[in-house]
Amino acid sequence: MILREGERILVKGSVTVDEIRKELRAGLTEIEGGASVVDLGELANADSTAIAMFLEWMRASNRAGRRLSFVNIPRELESLIGLYGLNPVFAGQ
């Protein structure tokens, strides 16, 4: 589930292949509206499709001339990010 709180996009629950289309669109809408921080503190479950979604959100933010940052990244997701060699991408947001 994607919620907006000021400049933040709150990602709650699961982001897996089953939810990706809805969540991708919801996040892009919030980024177009000026959101600049993605809070993953309440993300319960994520797979590699979530990483692909976050990368697309970053690209959308960059196209709009803004920087998107991620906070409260769960340990399991950090492991996946590292496995795919994307630490520099997420660290340099």
Integer Cα distance of 75 and 77 in angstroms: 5
CATH domain 2-91 topology = Transcription Regulator spoIIAA (3.30.750)
* Rounded average pLDDT over 64-73: 95
pTM, two decimal places: 0.92
- DSSP, collapsed to helix, strand or coil, labels residue 72 as coil
Task: Count CB atoms within 10 A of the CB of residue 13.
Answer: 14
What pLDDT, on a 0 to 100 scale, did the predictor assign at position 92?
62
Q: Domain limits of the chain?
A: 2-91
- DSSP, collapsed to helix, strand or coil, labels residue 80 as helix
Dig out the tokens for 2 from the structure.
């994607």
Question: Which pLDDT tens digit goes with each residue over 18-66?
Answer: 889 999 999 999 999 999 999 999 999 999 999 999 999 999 999 999 9
